């Protein structure tokens, strides 16, 4: 057996290498004469420094007039005309395995605390095709997120993909940390893309906490890193989640945020000569989004429940990225700034949010209770202005009277402190009790 492995290893070794030379650098783009390579291949750019020679990782992103266009994973200060470019002949790979649990890594798979990688990890490609649609089992089982408003009114299934749409500072990261701590998934894979460097440690220590971190793998690409590094952060995290799904596990996958991945792809597209389309986003942005988001979900082995945050400029839910992502995913939760300003947390606007699979995940009693609460919430909000100015007279409408009476209890039900965990069973029973009696405590 060992001999056969050795023969296979030797047969895969390249007996010669392809090289090229840097011709010019313009902005983010490096143009080189050669080497022989394909789109997506990783290359090493050899540079001479004052201390020791080193190699800069770069990826082939296009071709122009017979030259190879590369984009670097790191800074390019030391690159000079004539720097040697070495082709590896293969795309980027990272190492994955259970030993990564509790670790925070960069998009190349290296621990951010400079510790060595654990032994026993397996190399996996970061770019894969989504599962065959006919090989995806239907989603039939709910997954517990530990957030009362979601588990009861917006039930999510194992393998479902959800978007959290919100402006900045409305509580996305806090909600993600709460879900990571409370969910009954086997493990979490969390991608922090384009975050401020200050926020990374805050998220890990404050929002995620030791309890959440011990069953999580965090992939970080901060906003100061090159665009390609931010894109690869999303791909690396997705590939690690796929690794565990293929081993029969239920994975909770979170990405904060898809918008920053799209912005990074726009940078790459513009640098390689793509024409800007909708609001400056290039066509490649709208091509990679479905390919990336469709990789999560179910397959014949396990599930990846995907939660993607989407930054909406000026709280506009119809901007291009938000509109595209909403059309790909299986539901969306809208975090409302007005609710956050009123002190409601989580600031989920129940009436603007939807879980497209809830109807096939819950029983009739649960479904009817959720519909009734939504109806009462809608009745109150539609009449709120009249109620506040005293124009509504009690007794004029039985539905409005009931909605006024129950509204404080509904808001109390939706609110939940960050340290509080509610099981799905408790949330469902409380919802049914609230719908039937007007109280749930």
Domain residues of the chain, as ranges? Answer: 15-90, 94-360, 365-437
Residue 53 to residue 58: CA distance in whole angstroms:
16
The pLDDT of residue 43 = 92
Architecture of domain 15-90: Beta Barrel (2.40)
Peptide bond into 338 cis (omega under 30): no
Q: Which residues contact 316 (CB under 8 A, 6 or more apart)?
A: 322
Residue 369 to residue 151: CA distance in whole angstroms:
13
For 42-104, the DSSP string reads: EEEEEE--SS--EEEEEEEEEEETTEEEEEESS--TT--TT-EEEEEEEE-EEEESGGGTT-E
User: Strand 187-195 vs strand 93-96: parallel, antiparallel, or unpaired?
Assistant: unpaired
Residues lower than pLDDT 70 in the chain: 1-16, 50-51, 314-315
Residue 145 to residue 348: CA distance in whole angstroms:
14
* 140-189 per-position pLDDT tens digit: 999 999 999 999 999 999 999 999 998 888 888 889 999 999 999 999 99
The pLDDT of residue 11 = 60
CA-closest candidate to residue 352, choices 76, 119, 163, 92: 163
- State the angle between helix axes of 283-293 and 227-245 in degrees (0 to 180), rounded to the nearest 10: 20
Residue 426 to residue 186: CA distance in whole angstroms:
21
| Domain at 365-437, CATH from 1.20.1270.330, 1.10.1040.10, 3.40.47.10, 1.20.1630.10 | 1.20.1270.330
The pLDDT of residue 250 = 95
* 75-93 per-position pLDDT tens digit: 777 788 888 999 988 899 9
CA-closest candidate to residue 228, choices 85, 106, 87, 73: 73
Q: Which residues contact 417 (CB under 8 A, 6 or more apart)?
A: 345
Q: Which alpha helices (H) appear in 383-423, and where do they start and end?
A: 384-388, 398-414
Lookup result for tokens 């994975």: 251
The pLDDT of residue 315 = 65
CA-closest candidate to residue 345, choices 422, 407, 414: 414
Residue 249 to residue 40: CA distance in whole angstroms:
29
Q: Is 152 exposed, middle or buried (0-12, 13-18, 19+ CB in 10 A)?
A: buried
The pLDDT of residue 7 = 64
For residue 266, the surrounding DSSP H or E stretch is helix 258-271
Residue 84 to residue 194: CA distance in whole angstroms:
31
Q: Does the domain formed by 94-360 have CATH 1.10.10.10?
A: no
């Amino acid at each position: 057996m060992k001999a056969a492995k050795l023969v296979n290893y030797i047969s895969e070794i390249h007996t010669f290498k392809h090289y090229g030379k840097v011709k010019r650098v313009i902005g983010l783009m490096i143009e080189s004469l050669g080497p022989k390579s394909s789109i997506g291949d990783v290359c090493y750019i050899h540079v001479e420094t004052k201390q020791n020679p080193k190699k800069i990782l770069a990826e082939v992103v296009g071709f122009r007039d017979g030259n190879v266009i590369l984009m670097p994973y790191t800074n390019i200060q030391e690159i000079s005309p004539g720097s040697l470019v070495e082709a590896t002949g293969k795309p980027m790979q990272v190492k994955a395995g259970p030993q990564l649990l509790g670790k925070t890594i960069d998009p190349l798979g290296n621990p951010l605390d400079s510790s060595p990688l654990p032994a026993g990890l397996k190399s996996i490609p970061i770019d894969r095709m989504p599962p065959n649609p006919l090989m995806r089992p239907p989603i039939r089982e709910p997954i517990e997120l530990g957030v009362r408003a979601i588990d009861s009114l917006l039930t999510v299934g194992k393998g479902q993909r959800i978007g959290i749409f919100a402006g900045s500072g409305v509580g996305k990261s806090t909600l993600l940390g709460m879900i990571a701590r409370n969910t009954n998934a086997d493990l979490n894979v969390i991608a922090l893309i384009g975050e401020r460097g200050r926020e990374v440690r805050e998220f890990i220590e404050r929002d995620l906490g030791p309890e959440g971190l011990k069953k999580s793998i965090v992939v970080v690409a901060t906003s100061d890193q090159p665009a390609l590094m931010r894109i690869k952060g999303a791909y690396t995290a997705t590939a690690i989640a796929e690794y565990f799904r293929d081993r029969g596990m239920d994975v909770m996958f979170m990405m904060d945020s898809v918008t920053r991945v799209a912005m990074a792809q726009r940078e790459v597209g513009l640098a390689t000569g793509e024409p800007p389309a909708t609001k400056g986003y290039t066509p490649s942005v709208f091509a990679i989004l479905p390919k990336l988001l469709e990789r999560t979900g179910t397959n014949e082995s396990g599930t990846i429940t995907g939660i993607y945050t989407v930054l909406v400029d000026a709280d506009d839910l119809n901007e291009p990225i938000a509109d595209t992502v909403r059309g790909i995913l299986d539901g969306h939760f809208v975090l409302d700034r007005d609710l956050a300003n009123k002190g409601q947390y989580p600031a989920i606007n129940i009436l603007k949010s939807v879980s497209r699979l809830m109807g096939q995940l819950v029983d009739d009693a649960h479904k009817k209770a959720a519909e009734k609460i939504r109806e009462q919430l809608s009745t109150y909000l539609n009449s709120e202005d009249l109620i506040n100015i005293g124009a509504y007279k009690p007794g004029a409408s039985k539905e409005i009277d009931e909605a006024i009476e129950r509204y404080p209890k509904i808001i109390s039900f939706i609110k939940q402190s960050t340290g509080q965990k509610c099981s799905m069973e408790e949330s469902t029973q409380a919802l049914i009790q609230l719908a039937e009696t007007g109280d749930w405590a």
